[in-house]
């Protein structure tokens, strides 16, 4: 009789324990209301951090992780603050971040807009096969809106620029002659930005000179 009572008591204790665990599991909540505010314009060749995201962790604070490997982008796993460095590609990068706790996960998206601009100084020569320049006869100030101010052989005029299939194309006129500059833009954390390319009369199929300009911070 005592043995039967002990078994019944044991079953009751186990049932109460299981019930309490089930109730505890029911109280766990996954993260919600997770977001970053707006898109983030980023100055050319810079590094920095985002603001804190907004999030409701529910019943348990968890961690943040990037959903993918993004060039030049990192995240603080404890705070969710995003960081970027000088490797960030020019243009729009859409970043996805996951917030996770033991009950589940939530995903937020933020847009980085790395804007090209700045002062570049250098020169060009009349030898398209050259790989260096000795003259300082070409300076360009690029604006975020796609306009530019260019000084070519002492003549300062306005022009336009755009990125086309990774090529930086610049158009301007001096003394009623239309010119085109086609550059490759190179930059990274250890490499100060520079432009290398060719100058030609707009519409011509022949390059008239090699050009090299360096970024002036």
Residue 158: closest CA among 133, 184, 179: 179
Residue 149 CB coordination number (10 Å): 15
Sequence-ordered list of residues with C-beta below 8 angstroms from that of 131, at least 6 positions apart, any chain: 210
Given 73, 95, 114, the domain boundary residue is 114
Give the domain extent around 204.
Answer: 118-216
Task: List the end-to-end C-alpha distance of the chain, in Å, as a whole number.
Answer: 90
Look up the CATH number of the domain holding residue 160.
2.40.128
Let me know whether 127 and 90 are in one domain: no
Let me know whether 163 and 106 are in one domain: no
- Confidence band, pLDDT 50/70/90 cuts, at residue 168: very high
In a domain, 56, yes or no: yes
Let me know whether 209 and 176 are in one domain: yes
pLDDT digits (tens, 9 = 90+) for 63-77: 999 999 999 999 999
Let me know whether 126 and 210 are in one domain: yes
Look up the CATH number of the domain holding residue 102.
2.60.40.10
Let me know whether 127 and 93 are in one domain: no
In a domain, 33, yes or no: yes
In a domain, 18, yes or no: no
Let me know whether 136 and 84 are in one domain: no
Let me know whether 125 and 212 are in one domain: yes
- One-character DSSP codes across 66-100: ESS--TTEEE-TTT--EEE-TTPPSEEEEEEEEEE
pLDDT digits (tens, 9 = 90+) for 84-108: 999 999 999 999 999 999 999 999 9
Let me know whether 62 and 124 are in one domain: no
Backbone angles phi, psi at 6, to 5 degrees: -65, -40
Mean pLDDT value of segment 201-214: 95
Residue-level pLDDT at 90: 95
Sequence-ordered list of residues with C-beta below 8 angstroms from that of 83, at least 6 positions apart, any chain: 47, 48, 49, 50, 73, 74, 75, 76
Between 16 and 209, name the one with better pLDDT.
209
Given 92, 114, 136, the domain boundary residue is 114
């Amino acid at each position: 009789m005592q043995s039967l009572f002990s078994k019944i008591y044991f079953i009751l204790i186990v049932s109460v324990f299981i019930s309490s665990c089930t109730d505890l599991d029911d109280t766990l909540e996954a993260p919600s209301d997770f977001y970053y505010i707006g898109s983030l314009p980023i100055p050319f060749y810079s590094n920095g951090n985002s603001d804190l995201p907004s999030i409701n962790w529910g019943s348990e604070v968890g961690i943040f992780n990037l959903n993918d490997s993004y060039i030049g982008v990192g995240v603080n796993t404890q705070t969710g603050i995003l960081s970027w460095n000088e490797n960030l590609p020019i243009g729009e990068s859409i970043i996805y971040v996951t917030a996770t706790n033991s009950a589940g996960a939530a995903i937020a998206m933020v847009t980085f807009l790395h804007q090209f601009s700045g002062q570049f100084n250098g020169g060009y020569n009349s030898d398209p096969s050259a790989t260096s320049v000795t003259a300082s006869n070409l300076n360009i100030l690029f604006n975020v809106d796609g306009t530019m101010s260019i000084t070519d052989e002492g003549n300062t005029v306005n022009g336009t620029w755009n990125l086309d299939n990774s090529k930086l194309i610049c158009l301007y006129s001096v003394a009623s002659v239309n010119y085109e500059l086609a550059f490759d833009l190179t930059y990274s954390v250890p490499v100060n930005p520079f432009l290398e390319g060719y100058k030609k009369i707009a519409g011509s199929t022949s390059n008239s000179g090699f050009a090299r300009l360096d970024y002036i911070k």
